[in-house]
Each structure stands twice: as structure tokens, then as C-alpha cells.
Amino acid sequence: MILLSVVAFLGMGIMMPFGMPFAIGGMTLSVVGLVLGVIAIIGSKHVTEPVWAIVLIIIGLVGIGTGGFLVVLGGLLGLVSKYA
């Protein structure tokens, strides 16, 4: 999630002279993905706590893509491992 956000951010920075509105929108989405990725890394240490597992599931649903899917999967596994 973080790696793809950084790559997208750099790509939008290169594209900025050619299409300003699209580049700014893409950079905003990249920053959101970067922040969500950092929160997911911090929350992964506490995944067995139900609150953090639910937070990780929500972060994964908001941050779509491969990274988002993996965060949702980790949140679900943390939730299941707590109550199974």
C-alpha cells in the first residue's frame, strides 16, 4: 500500500506539467494511500485486539487494491484468531 502510493505520487509529480487537475487529484489519492498504509503498519502490531482488527478492515476497504485486500485479510484473520 505504501510502496504503490509513493510510486503513484512520483508519477503524478512527473505528469503535473501536462495535466494539472489530474495530477493534483492523483497526488491527493496517493497521500491518502500513504497515510492509510502507515496506520495499517502501526495497527498490525495490535491486530488481535478487536478494535484494531475492525480499523484494519475499514482501512483495507478504503485503500482499495492489492494492499487494501491484504490489510482486510489481516484484519479478518486477527478478528477470527481472537474469537476462534
Closest among 23, 25, 32, 26 to 2, alpha carbons compared: 32
Overall number of domains in the chain: 1
pTM: 0.76
Place of cell 495535466: 19
Q: Where are the beta strands (DSSP E) in the chain?
A: none
Q: Which pLDDT tens digit goes with each residue over 31-65?
A: 888 888 899 989 889 998 999 999 999 999 988 78
For residues 31 and 6, the answer to whether their CB atoms sit within 8 Å is no
Structural domain containing residue 22: 2-83
> pLDDT at position 16, please?
64
Give the length of the chain. 84
